[in-house]
Copies of this chain bind each other. A is one copy, B any other.
């Protein structure tokens, strides 16, 4: 029968403690604790005693009491994850992969959505930073874009073991980001290889440093292939004043005005004569494909399209989307590794603070 517990407190089931193990193994609590809960390789306990203790612990199904360790000052083996919304198309992969990597080093992940929950108060980000402190998380992954509210300085002050994903937000702080320059080079190179010469770039913004990297990669690869840069082939979403994606405050779901992509088609294809478009992300790409079909422009025959993200969506566009895979798994692995280094050893060497993840191109049908 479910839940016949007391009110706010949970009756401690009879649980085996370090004393039980010590008694049964015929050693002191000190020795038992040392063998079981401290790092291995200590000189002070004989190997045969250690073995015996471990056996007893196994038989008794002993597990160190987490709360007691924590109270005593040990680490919590818990990471906090700050995301705008965990259901977000990109973050959901990141959350999954980060958890998978965390578990490998014995850590669990505590979720923290920073938007869409006004009941918490005016600023969920700051609230969660405090909560994570109270829970004594060992480290924090912050994957919240910098344009969302939240005191990043307070975050890193309270949680020195913080790592950022994509938007570093605090200059010089450890950050793992996709190599966007490389991503754009992969895309352009592929298109050139398919005979495209009028390659357009459509991005949400060029004022944000992250997005600017895309332009750099785009330009470099054009140059490398002897193609001239034509400003008419670059679409900067900022100039249109349209908000291309925003999170609905009440549903906490992302919304996207598909029709807004018509402006991209007008500028790049109709006016600029583009025969290919490298899109801001898979959603832009999917919308471009959809709207171009409506205008009789076929993909990839007339215009090739390349996305960025490799969301589930990519298989379902028609034609299926050729896109840049962001390799979240690699990013997650790297972040956990860095976090563990920070926890164990203190400073990360300057050179290892900003890590670029090499994305890869997934070729489907749209380019």
The 18 sampled A-B contact pairs (Cβ below 8 Å) are: A2-B342, A2-B348, A3-B347, A4-B347, A67-B67, A85-B96, A86-B96, A87-B95, A89-B312, A96-B113, A104-B119, A108-B111, A108-B135, A109-B110, A254-B312, A256-B315, A258-B316, A287-B316
- Bound-state Cα–Cα, A301 to B103, Å: 50
**Chain B residues, CB < 8 A from A2:** 156, 160-162, 173-174, 342, 347-348, 353
Tell me, yes or no, whether A70 is within 8 Å of chain B by CB: yes
**Chain B residues, CB < 8 A from A252:** 96-97, 100, 329
Interface code A67-89, partner B: CB below 8 Å = 1, 0 otherwise?
11011011100100000011111
- Bound-state Cα–Cα, A215 to B188, Å: 49
Given contacts A66-B136, A86-B96, A343-B5, contact A258 B315 (CB under 8 A): yes
- Bound-state Cα–Cα, A1 to B345, Å: 12
A75 touches B342 (CB 8 A): no
The count of identical subunits is 2
A161 touches B3 (CB 8 A): yes
A316 touches B313 (CB 8 A): yes
B343 touches A67 (CB 8 A): no
11 additional A-B residue pairs with CB within 8 Å, beyond A9-B74, A87-B93, A258-B315: A2-B162, A3-B347, A67-B68, A70-B70, A86-B96, A87-B97, A88-B92, A95-B111, A99-B111, A256-B315, A258-B316
